[in-house]
A and B are shown apart, each in its own frame.
Chain A
Amino acid sequence: MNDLDERIVRATQAGLALVPEPYREVARALGVGPVLVMERIRGMLADGRIRRIGLVPNHYRLGYTANGMSVWDVDDDALARLGPAVGALPFVSHCYRRPRRLPEWPYNLFAMVHGRSRPEVEEKLAKIRELLGGACRGRDVLYSRRILKKTGLRLA
């Protein structure tokens, strides 16, 4: 990670300035040219260090009050095939394989599902269950109650 890239990250991690020329603002703060800053940012977009540039909505404010982290105990041999299939479902926003921690934690697949109500989330979970079929040995869903950190404290 090159030094200028790192300084750009530090200068933008709290967000971009709401001014007509936000990249020029970053460049000014770092004492370099705006063309160079934009070039570096494009480079970081191209190699994936920047996932995307844009806005992050607050789920709750958009009415997505039911946020379910669904967790699944899926047969390891089937996971390479089923993980991407679950991830490809249009309503799954994040999907990861994580380690089991037996005996406390038997689940190895995590799929985040957001909805405007719990019944809506449950319907979506039923679709995941159907897709996993016989490879699924157990499941649970953990609804978020509160954001404790990130955007300040908000009640769900």
Chain B
Amino acid sequence: MDKRGDDLDRAILNRLQGGFPVCDRPFARAARELGTDEATLIRRIGRLLAEGTLTRFGPMYDVEKMGGAFTLCAMRVPCRDFERVAALVNAHPEVAHNYEREHAYNMWFVIAAASPQAVAGTIRAIEEETGLPVLELPRFEEYFIDLRLSA
């Protein structure tokens, strides 16, 4: 019954990237719109999370509107040092995500913290620990953000 990658999975992925209801029985309501039932929807989302098709399920917060601060950072990390530096950077809980990219600037991470001071402190700590300068590229303006991929 719970086949992998079938039509219901696709419908869940395509239609539940936002708009999850805020009510007593949100899964029941969302399930009705997807033509399924509450228990099936809960089970499917659980499985999609467990197998790694989903990274998260819940509210997506806007750090800045919450009163926090964040910034994008880039570093040029020598290849031989890459794993060590990645571990040092990732050890900071303020580092929300971190990507390796194909470029001289090969490490790109986002720092999110309660205040601009905390962000600056994390950057200083990373520079001291790694001995590498951090290129700080805060967002000046947001033209668009809506990551909704179709399955």
B129 interface hit (Cβ, 8 Å): no
Q: For A105, what are the chain B residues with a Cβ–Cβ distance below 8 Å?
A: 74, 105, 135, 137
Q: For A112, what are the chain B residues with a Cβ–Cβ distance below 8 Å?
A: 147
Q: A23-70: which residues lie under 8 A (CB-CB) from chain B?
A: 23-24, 34, 38, 41-42, 44-45, 47-59, 61-62, 64, 69
Residue contact A18 to B57, C-beta cutoff 8 Å: yes
Number of residue pairs A-B, CB distance < 8 angstroms: 217
Residue contact A62 to B53, C-beta cutoff 8 Å: yes
A42 to B59, CA, bound (A): 11
Q: For A19, what are the chain B residues with a Cβ–Cβ distance below 8 Å?
A: 42
Residue contact A98 to B52, C-beta cutoff 8 Å: no
Specify which of B22, B53, B72 is in contact with A45 (CB 8 Å cutoff). Answer: B22
Residue contact B101 to A95, C-beta cutoff 8 Å: no
A92 to B13, CA, bound (A): 19
Instruction: State the Cβ distance, A15 to closest chain B Cβ, in Å.
Output: 4
Residue contact A97 to B22, C-beta cutoff 8 Å: no
Choose among B18, B99, B102 the residue with the greatest number of A CB atoms under 10 Å from its CB. B99
A21 to B27, CA, bound (A): 8
Residue contact B65 to A22, C-beta cutoff 8 Å: no
Known: A50-B60, A58-B55, A93-B145. A144 touches B100 (CB 8 A): yes
B115 interface hit (Cβ, 8 Å): no
Residue contact A62 to B149, C-beta cutoff 8 Å: yes
The interface residues of chain B, by DSSP majority, are classed as mixed
B118 interface hit (Cβ, 8 Å): no
Known: A62-B151, A150-B98. A56 touches B142 (CB 8 A): no
Q: B79-104: which residues lie under 8 A (CB-CB) from chain A?
A: 86, 89-90, 95-103
A94 to B139, CA, bound (A): 11
Q: A71-113: which residues lie under 8 A (CB-CB) from chain B?
A: 83-84, 86-88, 92-99, 101, 104-105, 112
Residue contact B140 to A97, C-beta cutoff 8 Å: yes
Contact with A along B65-81 (1 / 0, CB 8 A): 11100001010000000
Q: A47-B65, A56-B57 are in contact. List 6 more A-B contacts (CB 8 A).
A: A13-B58, A38-B22, A38-B23, A50-B61, A52-B59, A104-B135
Task: Give the B-binding residues of A (Cβ under 8 A).
Answer: 1, 9, 12-16, 18-24, 34, 38, 41-42, 44-45, 47-59, 61-62, 64, 69, 83-84, 86-88, 92-99, 101, 104-105, 112, 114, 140, 142-151, 154
